[in-house]
Chains A and B, each alone.
Chain A
Amino acid sequence: QVQLLESGPGLVRPSETLSLTCTVSGASISSYFWSWVRQPAGKGPEWIGRLYTSGSSNYNPSLYSRVSSSIDTSNNRFSLNLRSVTAADTAVYYCARGPKVGTSDYSFFYMDVWGKGTTVTVSS
């Protein structure tokens, strides 16, 4: 069964870069969309962005100037970098799998497998 595991520092200083990795096990990372979602305490989820194994990506315009991501097919993992963080970036960060490319419903971009989430606090 497919499992996703987020990893990275739980505390990041203001103005620094938040870096997270999502390791995929139980399935190949190829041919799927992969997403990052965050959720501040007590609030709804916020979509950060989506990437594909070709390297193409889409990001939330509200974060576009600060975010980047990459995919490492050799090690079955993908990563997120969020620059110049502030307290407003404090949240639980999730990685998630999107639909398989080429299937009849892939354009609905649902997220069917999620990691457990990792809490990131931005504080000095």
Chain B
Amino acid sequence: DIQMTQSPSSLSASVGDRVTITCRASQYISNYLNWYQQKPGKAPTLLIYAASSLQSGVPSRFTGSGSQTDFTLTISSLQPEDFAVYYCQQTYTGPQTFGPGTKVDIK
């Protein structure tokens, strides 16, 4: 199975900050990489698919980039509703696998 890692595992930030989360795949996955946001007690919600395509209805402050094995999710100006856990997911081959998550909380 392809292993996904994320860094950092958690971060503290303030409203208005620019936040960057990194996701790395254990092998080549082209751009078969999706990003989800999950708030406590809720289901994940899709933010980005195909590494850089913004899901309909998701604010433009969220951007995804990367290819092959290294990917980034950037929040350009953190808003109060963005405090959550973020997961990357690969769908290139084998079982779809998720990263361990990055928790973004309030500084």
Question: A-side interface residues toward B, CB under 8 Å?
Answer: 37, 44-47, 50, 60-62, 94, 96, 105, 107-112, 114-117
Assembled-state Cα–Cα distance A108/B42 (Å): 23
Q: Give how many B residues have a beta carbon under 8 Å from the other chain's beta carbons.
A: 24
B98 at the interface (CB under 8 A from A): yes
Which A residues are in CB contact (< 8 Å) with B32? 107-108
B95 touches A60 (CB 8 A): yes
Q: A45-B89, A47-B98, A111-B46 are in contact. List 18 more A-B contacts (CB 8 A).
A: A44-B87, A44-B98, A44-B101, A45-B98, A47-B97, A61-B1, A61-B95, A96-B43, A108-B32, A109-B91, A110-B55, A110-B91, A111-B34, A111-B36, A111-B44, A112-B49, A112-B55, A114-B45
Assembled-state Cα–Cα distance A37/B91 (Å): 14
1/0 per residue, CB under 8 A from A, across B63-107: the answer is 000000000000000000000000101010011111111000000
Given contacts A112-B55, A114-B43, contact A105 B95 (CB under 8 A): no
